[in-house]
Chains A and B, each alone.
Chain A
Amino acid sequence: MSLRSDAFETAQLPIDDIESGQSILLVGDDTTALKTVFARLVAADADERSVVLATNAGGRSIQRLLDDARDGAGSRASILTAEGPGRGADVSTIDDLKDITQVGMQFSNLVGTSQQSTARFRSGIFLCSTIVSELDDTRSVYRFLNSNFLTELRRGDGIGVVAIDRSAELETDVDSMVTGMETSFNIRIDVEQTGPQTATLHLSGVPGSEGSVDITL
């Protein structure tokens, strides 16, 4: 169950493949660039499955984002969304993000179920900052990440991406919070949108790809 296999290819990003088990903290303003980079990291290849918790977007919207990142990736995704209707087995909904107990159990269940069809998975949360803003006590966010997200990466054959909107009003020192979170993640990518169709990624912890790289959206 804990055997690690091949690295995970990144779609349309100028960075090396990501080793199984790696966690990625994706930080930026809530822009097209942040969504696009998230999708390119999380979009499942043919022998993989994506498991996405979407806090601010509907299931169909996430499927389209994943399809844009990699052909057919939308249909290889299990999405848990706080917005919009459910769609069959692949898009399920949560009534209230504040009910983090329910969110955590559903997310754990989706990861476990997805591994019945293929062991390789890419999990993602877009946006974790929304969860922080919804919950009264930030310790619950950390407990959620520990209990239902980071654990799966340690045990299985997968990678995980947590996106943070640094412009969100979170009633805390966002820089300090992100700096703290960074130490629990293997990789940090800061996304800076530089034009309507361009962005710069500032990379930390990406083997062979430190520094900054420009991308086209």
Chain B
Amino acid sequence: MDVIGSEPVVGVVTAYDLADGTGMDVIQAVREQTPQTPVVLFTDVSPAEIDTNSVEEVLVEYLNRDLPDATDRLGFIVNDVIDHSAQVGFLTPDNEDERLDALDQYDIDSLPIEESFERLTDLITAHFDVAVAFVGLIEEDEENFLACTGGDWDSLTREDTICTHSMLQEDVMVVEDIANDKRFNKNEQLENLGIVSYAGANMTSSDGHVIGQVCALGHEPRRYTAKEKHDLEQFADTAMEILELRQSVLDNQDVEVHQ
């Protein structure tokens, strides 16, 4: 377990019966330290005999070691769960690979976008009279915040974000009161940040992929009118235009240098 806490681990395979505990202890520890790391429980102990009373909502892939093709299956399954981030606590669009490819087209670290986005999030907080506004890009495992007014946020694990749900909807997603929504009201990260209301609009690339979100967050419950939702979409479209234009300028500079 020391290794899991200190080094990147892409996947864990554990037996159930261990000299100093059980595989469930390992799984619990992995989920607490790196919740998105896939785990396979490889054992000849049947599920009904496995003590799950000590763990809470800890999902794992179970593979019966007694199956005739168990060893072949194990290799196949381990590769699969690693390649597909197969045990995360959020759903991904079925074109997730293409979406991530589209996101990779933007050389975010080289683009002078921070000041532009900060001006934009300042405007959003003022326009909606909300505590926090941000521009975030949704990467494979986390959301990276490019600008954030009202909060000092760098990134969040993707399953802890509302944006990973919002990005799956075409229109603006509003959560009037997170306390009343089971998808989010057990999320300690959101609670610690004091977020009560949420509105998120998609940043959609020119080839149609949702790569990020522009969001307004409040510390109080609130509704958004149709006009306000439309305004948020306009802000998201503006953020996307800034990103596209900056990338175009960078691409043209690279061409000129090579010439």
Chain A interface residues (CB < 8 Å from chain B): 1-2, 92, 99-102, 104-106, 108-109, 112-113, 116, 132, 135-140, 142-148, 150-151, 154-155, 170-173, 176-177, 179-186
Contact = CB atoms under 8 A, between A and B. Distances in A.
B223 to A, nearest CB: 13
B126 interface: no
Contact of B76 (A1, A142, A145): A1
Contact of B86 (A151, A181, A182): A151
B47 A106 contact: yes
Interface in B118-154: none
A148 B61 contact: yes
Contacts of A185: 94
Contacts of A112: 63-64, 67, 73
B67 A105 contact: no
Contacts of A109: 46-47, 62, 64
Given A1-B73, A139-B89, A154-B80, A100 B47 contact: no
Contacts of B89: 139-140, 142-143, 146
B106 to A, nearest CB: 22
B250 interface: no
A138 B182 contact: yes
Interface stretch (B52-60, B108-116, B230-238): B52-60
A46 to B, nearest CB: 23
B47 A105 contact: yes
Top 8 closest pairs, chain A to chain B, by CB:
A139-B89, A105-B62, A105-B47, A140-B57, A180-B168, A184-B91, A171-B182, A143-B59
B181 interface: yes
For the complex, would chain B's binding face be called helix, strand, loop or mixed by DSSP majority? loop
B57 A136 contact: yes
Nearest to A111: B62
B161 to A, nearest CB: 11
B54 to A, nearest CB: 10
A102 B52 contact: yes
Contact of A180 (B47, B80, B94, B165): B165
Nearest to B165: A180
A145 B90 CA distance: 9
Nearest to A144: B59
A101 B46 contact: no
For the complex, would chain A's binding face be called helix, strand, loop or mixed by DSSP majority? helix
Interface in B19-76: 24, 38, 41, 46-48, 50, 52, 55-64, 67-68, 72-73, 76
Interface of B: 24, 38, 41, 46-48, 50, 52, 55-64, 67-68, 72-73, 76-77, 80-81, 84, 86-94, 159, 165, 168-169, 173, 175, 180-183, 186-187
A132 to B, nearest CB: 7
Given A100-B59, A179-B169, 9 more contacts: A102-B52, A106-B47, A108-B61, A112-B73, A116-B68, A138-B182, A140-B57, A171-B181, A184-B92
B180 A137 contact: no
Contacts of B76: 1-2, 155
A143 B182 contact: no
10 contacts: A99-B52, A101-B56, A101-B59, A104-B61, A109-B64, A136-B57, A138-B182, A139-B186, A147-B38, A154-B80
Contacts of B81: 151
Given A154-B80, A172-B183, A180-B169, A104 B62 contact: yes
B64 A113 contact: yes
Given A104-B59, A105-B60, A108-B62, A143 B88 contact: yes
A177 B59 contact: no
Contacts of A1: 72-73, 76
Contacts of A135: 57
Contact of B87 (A105, A106, A138, A143): A143
Contact of B60 (A139, A142, A147, A181): A147
Contacts of B41: 105
A184 B93 CA distance: 5
